[in-house]
Chains A and B, each alone.
Chain A
Amino acid sequence: MKKGKQASARNVLPDCIIPAVALVFAIYYLTTITEVPWISQASAIFVSCLLLLSIIAFVIRTVWRIRQRRETLRLQGSFQDLFGTMPTSARRIALLALVIAYVLVIETLGFSLTTFVFVFVAIVLLSSLANWKKSLVIALSCSIIGYIVFIYFFKTRFPTGPIEDWLKGVI
């Protein structure tokens, strides 16, 4: 009975990430306001105290529930809880890497080229390589429509690169 209860206990280790990040950030924030006038410190100190109290309440509740075997803290399975099972978890991480790469190169390659490559690769990643024709059409449409609507007509401040520079000379 006890064993069964333990097995069904919910793993709350992933739930601790947000409070941990919030706590670290609040401590960092407080270290940056030591030199400023107290008026500038007041509301941040007040809110960080409230944050700390909420985190303490969260910790007390978690400890209480662990003692009741309703919750548990374990590393095993935490990754799955957070990112899902395979292959979804692998896809999520690959997509995140792709998003970071998109932001890193967009300033150099510009909106049209980077968006084309990103959308094409992301669709193939989320479906399969067999879907390449549809992916190509959608990626190309995104780039062309995005260029025409936002850069050509609206003159929006989109990141520009070789394609946009070339088109500027042609059109």
Chain B
Amino acid sequence: MGPDFSVFVGLLADTLGYWWVIIPATVLGIVVGAIPGFSAANTIIILLPMTLSMEPATGMIFMVALYTSSRLGAGIPAILVNIPGTAGAAATPLDGYPMAVAGRGQQALAISFTASVAAGLITTVLALVLISWLSQAVYYLHSVEMIVVMLFGISLIATISAEDQIKGLIAGFFGLMIGYIGADVVYEAPRGTFGFLELYDKVPLIPALVGLFAISEAFVVIERNTILSEKGAILQQQTGWGPTIEGIRVTFLHWKEVIWTSLLGLVIGVIPGAGAAIASFVAYQQSRILSKTPELYGTGHVPGLIAPESANNGVTSGTLIPLLIIGVPGGATAAIMAVVLEYHGINFGPDLFQSQPMIAYGSFTAMLMTYALLGLMIMPLTRYFSRVMVVPTIYMAPILIAFTLVGSFVPRAYVFDMGVAIVFGVIGYIARRTGYHVAAILIGVILGPLLENYFLRALRISQGDLGVLFSSSIGNTLWVLLLISLFAPALKRRLTRLKPVDTSASNNDDDSKA
């Protein structure tokens, strides 16, 4: 189904003619991605009257460009102020923020942007070439397989709390319990809602994210003059393009990391309902497990920033595949794209690639153009974005609180959700002050309901037989891989202890290059 080279070049040239749509959509996407509550999906909904009035191809290119750039924009606040713009960037602050606090914010942004753009370009080309093959993944990955994929992500809870595993597990399981609030997907029975109707549709994700990261962070940092550490403040005074160039260089040194985590994102993106959050958590977890220096993760380690950013940008092209081939959207934004195209009477399926190549293939070429444009446009901004770090906390904290709280209002327009953000803010603050990892709670809140949905569906299909969890060969292979990934680090540590100490090994460690 993939286009031959001459068709591809022709499509790319045609897409270039849409520069007047792509450029404003890209700028808008960066802005809305960077503000919690203003996801691409929300923005496309807000702009629906405009999108619907456009030609189908123009509208699709606009939405794709906005979606693509918002993914990249979400990493900016995650790195600079520890607030992921969207759930897909929730794993980015784990190593991005410590880098920023240490005065390496400009470099961290350059790493994030380079990894995102490279991952986006690689996976978009691959998606174009392998589109028919990748679309088959939808038919092979069902509830059972997705349960194991979710468990890959959830196992990150134990990993990121390596300093105090008991506290990490408490935080993670607490998060999972919070994630189970609401009516279940099969029987619609309300559970743990405290009688609030607003919680029947699960705990809203943006307020949870705003509370756990933004509000709690604002309350923590007010005892310091700036977010920067003492050393970081000195390092931050370095001006010039050095840190940006160094960030780009370091990312290319980790090219293998970029490629495999972006491919992971692409495959997860193809699965309807999975999405960027799962991809970034799984990528971070697997990157840490495969690393020679896992102990450096969470301290501002370069691969720990590359992995989630590459993976969540790999998802972007993946989500379009099931939409265009079988009409099943891979995520919320793709679902809105489906609505817009259906409004214009466009039918999805393999025929779309013949009848409307500018929509089918054009979506991917628009994505390629957006990533290329982002690479050129956003890199020079790293130097100026990172200046946010020197804003005194007496100004930063109130502004952050005000805008993120209103951001938590936007998705559903409930003041109740702002209250939810405050509750999560208090929980997050106490957690931070007492050594519990807020990211562990958030992983539970994000992945808990997804895991339960797949679990309930699997049990429903099997009429309550738990044996269904081990009923497919792909699922069983994934179970084995999960067990290996869980126990391999401990086994590796034990084997390392048994080996005689080789001091030269540490000098050759690829991971420590950064």
Interface residues of A (CB under 8 A from B): 14-15, 17-19, 21-22, 25-26, 28-29, 32-33, 35-40, 42-44, 47-48, 50-51, 54-55, 57-58, 61, 81-82, 84, 88, 91-92, 95-96, 99-100, 102-103, 106-107, 111, 115, 118-119, 122-123, 126-127, 131, 138, 142, 146, 150, 154-159
Interface residues of B (CB under 8 A from A): 38, 43, 46, 166-167, 169-171, 173-174, 176-178, 180-181, 184, 186-187, 189-193, 215, 219, 222-223, 393-395, 397-399, 401-403, 405-406, 409-410, 413, 415, 418-419, 422, 425-427, 430-431, 433-436, 448, 451-452, 455-456, 459-460, 464
Q: Separation in Å of the B74 CB from the closest CB of chain A?
A: 17
CA distance A29 to B181 in the complex (A): 8
Contact of A118 among B169, B402, B430 (CB under 8 A): B402
Q: Are B170 and A55 in contact (CB under 8 A)?
A: yes
Given known A37-B189, A54-B169, contact A43–B455 (CB-CB < 8 A) = yes
Given known A39-B186, A54-B169, A159-B406, contact A44–B459 (CB-CB < 8 A) = no
Q: Are B189 and A21 in contact (CB under 8 A)?
A: no
For B169, give the chain A residue with the smallest CB separation: A54
Q: Are B434 and A18 in contact (CB under 8 A)?
A: yes
CA distance A82 to B183 in the complex (A): 35
Q: Are A33 and B189 in contact (CB under 8 A)?
A: yes
Residues of chain B within 8 A of A48, CB atoms compared? 173, 177
CA distance A73 to B3 in the complex (A): 68
Residues of chain A within 8 A of B393, CB atoms compared? 126
Residues of chain B within 8 A of A47, CB atoms compared? 173, 176-177, 180, 448
Which of B219, B394, B452 has the largest number of chain A CB atoms within 10 A?
B394
Contact of B409 among A40, A96, A159 (CB under 8 A): A159
Can you spell out 16 A-B residue pairs with CB atoms less than 8 angstroms apart? A15-B435, A18-B171, A18-B430, A29-B181, A44-B177, A54-B170, A58-B166, A96-B426, A102-B402, A103-B405, A115-B402, A123-B395, A126-B393, A126-B394, A127-B394, A156-B410
Contact of A14 among B402, B434, B455 (CB under 8 A): B434
Given known A95-B222, A115-B402, contact A40–B191 (CB-CB < 8 A) = yes
CA distance A92 to B46 in the complex (A): 36
For A120, give the chain B residue with the smallest CB separation: B398
CA distance A57 to B173 in the complex (A): 14
Q: Are B180 and A122 in contact (CB under 8 A)?
A: no
Residues of chain B within 8 A of A22, CB atoms compared? 170, 173-174, 177
Q: Are A119 and B402 in contact (CB under 8 A)?
A: yes
Q: Are A118 and B223 in contact (CB under 8 A)?
A: no
Q: Separation in Å of the B445 CB from the closest CB of chain A?
A: 12
Q: Are B410 and A157 in contact (CB under 8 A)?
A: yes
Given known A17-B430, A103-B415, contact A32–B191 (CB-CB < 8 A) = yes
Residues of chain A within 8 A of B451, CB atoms compared? 43
Contact of B456 among A15, A26, A40, A88 (CB under 8 A): A40
CA distance A138 to B192 in the complex (A): 41
Residues of chain A within 8 A of B460, CB atoms compared? 39
CA distance A154 to B47 in the complex (A): 8
Contact of B405 among A15, A33, A102 (CB under 8 A): A102
Apart from A32-B193, A36-B191, what 7 extra A-B contacts exist at CB < 8 Å?
A18-B170, A22-B174, A32-B190, A51-B173, A103-B419, A123-B395, A126-B222
Residues of chain A within 8 A of B425, CB atoms compared? 99
Q: Are B422 and A100 in contact (CB under 8 A)?
A: yes
CA distance A106 to B422 in the complex (A): 14
Residues of chain B within 8 A of A14, CB atoms compared? 430, 433-434
